[in-house]
A and B are shown apart, each in its own frame.
Chain A
């Protein structure tokens, strides 16, 4: 695992295409790798945003998962929520890997900031 860590950020950015549409208040993620079956459950998207993106609140959003097209689309009701998540998505992969590295090095301080997550 440790030997993979330095390259994970790059692999994630390469493998996942993020597009935002401010007019439609939508953010989409398309996974380029071939995934067998279900790419994600809607609750996993929320967990991802909270765990790695630092999202603290419950933001109303519609989550469309297109397993065939391997695309997840998040649709928001207002611009404020859209912008909040858009900002998170700019650095979420870097944050996720940094958090993992930090914890593997024994620094658990950021774990405490993650809100309760219902697995």
Chain B
């Protein structure tokens, strides 16, 4: 959790006071099918404030999910909570502020008809347009629609902007990607095997309405939930069963990518990862000029980089927020305060902040320009900036040196290197930033023990407090005994007592090491690797090569007396695919005058703050 006393620049305070409740009698729930342009029926659940008079007109918040818009509970819970809509956002909070709330199952999922080959397909995005048409034709609609969501629903919310529908007034993508290849599926070109496999497995069983598989992986859901909720009029479940039949031809990301390696590999429908990215839809999103409030956490997968890239690349009026919680902000994730038990702001405070943003965009003059709010770990302060990187940003090199040290001085020796036998048992466990995409807690524990398996370099104690904000770049000159391999690099803080705390990390598959001088598809602050097949090349065993890549963005204060540490691994066995798939590579990292290895750290100069 962020420090609840961190008031200055706190975005949840700056978005205004909690709006007064307009409706206090609860809400009604109904459900129906909305038929979209190609005849596919989309299941929708509609919550309206109780006591809404027939001539009242209200705006609508819409969330489109692939994880069931509403759940059919098991008895006896169904008998008392039948009106509960289980997906966020909380309908009580939203409807009490005078909004209708609509959840839909995207095509091919839940109780909706249709099938899907990829997530976020063009057809799925276009459905949003048709659904908004349906909403504004309802007697209670005032013609204004806004969208919000977290994770999958965050991306569907953002893609509403791509539709350029005049009724859409604002979107709030929470914890969503910008570039699905690097943010989630292949960070640094390494396949995120654990998440993609489990996510695809869960998706498939959700789409087939098969909750019994959740006994092992999501027991709390299994205990409580019978399946997807059919629409109200589908008493005999005929419609639901027909919809489920159509879902049987769905395809899943894991099956379509486990054999793939490159950004430009084709998926079965001829598309590639880029086709369902946000950046590929940049022009349409900018044309809409819809205000965006995006939020995420430093510790969340590669989605932390997504929020920076969105901020740097989209011209839309924009608020960006980066905090220190897990994926979706249900749990605290600040590794420097492992005993914190709850997240600030509370879910209710967040929803109220989001509604304040919507109110500004619907009823006032919206927001102007761009502002990013970011929380600096250890310093425990919110900061804000109109630019990224923030003013005062500069880089500071720390070189790998003798005796596993990091020094500011460039090596002068003609020789100097360290050998490392890749330990394929090295792991960050199952509570890391990648597994967290499934809602799990984030804990990088026992770093002292973990680092024993890794090749580590540590600095002398810092002489003054130093803020690091941005993306650290790691540059290695190395040789390997094999043609393929990967580097996993962990950036850590070491306190006066030798306690080690994880700050951030980066991963990189070595065949992608070519740095391109042409323009990347979007603005970045780290070396540009295309991850395309044509730019890939195997290592030549024994030949020295430069490998330079960015770690995931962070903001942290290294305190006076603390040291920084970079720990190098060649595998993260419980998360990523093994590179190479067989063999026992040995890498040699050079740290000499001709071939120095170093980390380039983004510092915020004190005098420029």
Contacts and interface: CB of A to CB of B under 8 A. Distances in A.
Interface of A: 1, 4, 8, 11-12, 15-16, 31, 33, 35-40, 44-45, 47-48, 51-52, 93, 96, 99-100, 103-104, 108, 111, 117-119
Contact of A39 (B74, B79, B81, B86): B79
B76 A12 contact: yes
B212 A117 contact: yes
Interface string B79-104: 11110001000000000000000000
Contact of B235 (A15, A37, A52, A100): A37
B450 interface: no
Contacts of A103: 219-220, 223
B215 interface: yes
Contacts of A40: 75
A96 B210 CA distance: 22
Q: Which of B215, B220, B226 has the most CB of A within 10 A?
A: B220
23 contacts: A4-B81, A8-B80, A11-B80, A12-B76, A15-B80, A31-B79, A33-B80, A36-B82, A38-B235, A39-B75, A39-B79, A44-B74, A47-B74, A51-B223, A96-B76, A96-B77, A99-B223, A104-B220, A117-B212, A118-B212, A119-B210, A119-B211, A119-B212
Contacts of A4: 81
B37 interface: no
Contacts of A15: 79-80
Nearest to A100: B223
A12 B74 CA distance: 13
Nearest to A15: B80
B79 A111 contact: no
Given A15-B80, A100-B220, A111 B74 contact: no
Contacts, number: 57
A48 to B, nearest CB: 5
Nearest to A72: B75
Contacts of A119: 210-212, 226-227
Nearest to A47: B74
A57 B197 CA distance: 36
A56 to B, nearest CB: 17
Contact of B74 (A31, A33, A48, A93): A48
Contacts of B79: 15-16, 31, 33, 35, 39
B420 interface: no
B22 interface: no
Contacts of B232: 36
Contact of A108 (B75, B219, B224, B227): B219
A15 B568 CA distance: 59
B75 to A, nearest CB: 5
Contacts of A37: 235
B132 to A, nearest CB: 28
Interface residues of B, number: 21
A44 B75 contact: yes
Contact of B215 (A11, A38, A44, A111): A111
- 3 smallest beta-carbon distances between A and B, as pairs: A119-B212, A103-B220, A31-B79
Interface in B202-217: 210-212, 215
A45 B76 CA distance: 9
Nearest to A29: B76
A47 B224 CA distance: 12
A45 B80 contact: no
Contacts of B223: 51, 99-100, 103, 111
A12 B80 contact: yes
Contacts of B212: 117-119
B74 A51 contact: yes
Interface string B533-565: 000000000000000000000000000000000
A51 B215 CA distance: 11
Contacts of A100: 220, 223-224
A47 B232 CA distance: 24
Q: Which of A35, A47, A96 has the most CB of B within 10 A?
A: A96
A48 B80 contact: no
Contacts of A1: 86
Contacts of A44: 74-75, 226
A111 to B, nearest CB: 5
Contact of B76 (A16, A108, A111): A16
Given A103-B223, A108-B219, A48 B76 contact: yes
Q: Which of B74, B76, B219 has the most CB of A within 10 A?
A: B76
Contacts of B215: 111
A99 B82 CA distance: 20
B40 to A, nearest CB: 26
Nearest to A111: B219
B440 to A, nearest CB: 11
Contacts of A35: 79, 82
Contacts of B75: 39-40, 44-45, 48
Contacts of B235: 37-38
Nearest to A32: B79
Nearest to B237: A38
Contacts of A96: 76-77
Contacts of B76: 12, 16, 48, 52, 93, 96
A52 B222 CA distance: 12
Nearest to B234: A37
Nearest to B81: A4
A71 to B, nearest CB: 12
A3 B224 CA distance: 15
A36 B232 CA distance: 9
Given A37-B235, A40-B75, 12 more contacts: A8-B80, A11-B80, A12-B80, A33-B82, A48-B75, A52-B76, A103-B220, A104-B220, A108-B219, A111-B215, A117-B212, A119-B210
A7 B110 CA distance: 29
Nearest to B224: A100
Nearest to A37: B235
